Amino acid sequence: MDSKRTSEVLSVPTPQPPESAAEVPLEIHDLTVSYHKKPVLWGIDVVVPPGKLIGIVGPNGAGKSTLIKAAMGMLPVSSGWVKAFGKPVKESLTRIGYVPQRESVDWDFPVSVMDVVMMGRYGHLGLLRRPSRHDRQVVLECLDKVKMLPYANRQISNLSGGQQQRVFLARALAQESDLYFMDEPFAGVDAATEAAIVTLLHNLRDKGKTILVVHHDLPSARQYFDMLLLLNMRVVAFGETKTVFNYDLLQATYGGRLTILSEVADAVHARESGNGR
């Protein structure tokens, strides 16, 4: 029964990669990632077309954050590879921007809003190089785009959740990348900021940037994103939102149909770490 549903799921047409291979922003092939010897992502295959705003959705523990971290080469992988713009991802990092989860940093850190956004320029600066006038200019423009320019010289602990998120977005904008990974940019953000971020993402997309956003709210996912990647330890489906956003696929993603897979994962974990009986 389980395998039958899986084959149904896999029959959803995945988008065809564009002809010019060099312009594929992201290609993930057979990626498997384990935490403490317990697999959390299994055989991920994704070819992301350029100029799309893509939502990554799935239940808690589906491996959404893990997927984007692994895609940027930040985690050791058990198998598979990731290419960005036709090159191994580690060689393309200057073309990749990242918005981590807001809670991942200490907001009492002694830096100003300006300092944080300037970090977006660091990847472009060489070793021993200091930010130039041009970098400052870019940073101020990015702060303006997220309407945080008046706060440029504030210490970051005085910001609200929505403002913190906008600072992170400004930092990602300052990276001037072609491919963006964003980890829950809407978490703990007020409605006004959420709307502003969506507009910003659409503008970026219209300029031909590719954006992958980890998202956990299904109703809004349907409105915001061009494409959806339904994830639960493996890719349940990846395609245009209107094709993929249907009851069966969401049921397959959230409905606990993956018990066999997670049981096997537990078994692998038990054997590898020597706790199995």
Partner 1 sequence: MNRPFKFSLLIPVLLASATNAHAARIGELTDSSIVEQALRFFTFQDPTVRFALAGTILLGITCGLLGSFIVVRKMALVGDALSHAVLPGVAFGFLWNMSKDPVAIFIGATVAGLLGAAAVHLIRHTTRLKEDTALGLVLATFFAVGVCMLTMIQRLPTGNKSGIDKFLFGQAAAIGAGDLKLMAVITVLAILAVMLFYKEFLVTSFDSDFARSCGFATHVIHYGLMLLVAFAVVIALQAVGVVLVSSMLITPAAAAYLLTDRMHWMLFLSAIFGMLAGAFGAFFSFLGPGLPTGPFIVLGATTVFSIAFFLGPKHGVITRWFKQRSRSNRIQRENTLKSIYHVLENRSFVGESVSLRELAERRRETLEDARIQSKALARHGLATLHEDGNQIFLTPGGWQLACSIVRNHRLWELYLTNAADFAADHVHDDAEKIEHVLGDEVVRAIERRLKYANRDPHGKPIPSLEDVQRGAAPRARREDSVGYGSSI
CB of 155 to partner 1, least distance (A): 4
**Interaction site with partner 1 (CB under 8 A):** 69, 72, 74, 90, 93-94, 96, 98, 100, 104-106, 109-112, 115-116, 119, 122-123, 125, 128, 130-131, 155, 157, 171, 175, 181
Query: In whole angstroms, how close is the CB of 152 to partner 1 at the nearest point?
Result: 13
Instruction: Find the shortest distance in angstroms from Cβ 107 to partner 1.
Output: 10
Among residues 64, 61, 71, 60, the alpha carbon closest in space to that of 28 is found at 71
Nearest approach in angstroms of CB 90 to partner 1 is: 7
Judged by beta carbon, residue 116 or residue 228, the one nearer partner 1 is 116
Q: How far is CA 65 from CA 71, 72, 185, 249, in A?
A: 10, 11, 12, 21
Closest CB to partner 1 among 125 and 260?
A: 125
83: tokens are 């290419």
Nearer to partner 1 by Cβ, of 210 and 232: the residue is 210
66-77 exposure pattern, b = at least 16 Cβ within 10 A, e = fewer: bbbbbbbbebeb
Closest to partner 1 by CB, 42 vs 120, is: 120
- Compute the least distance from the CB of residue 30 to partner 1, in Å: 22
How far apart are the C-alpha atoms of 163 and 169, rounded to whole Å?
A: 10
Q: Which of these, 249, 204, 212, 234, lies nearest to 44 by C-alpha position?
A: 234
Nearest to 265 by CA among 5, 16, 32: 32
State the nearest-atom distance from the C-beta of 2 to partner 1, in Å.
33
For partner 1, the closer CB: 72 or 265: 72
Rounded CA-CA distance 211/226 in Å is 10
Nearer to partner 1, 154 or 222 (CB): 154
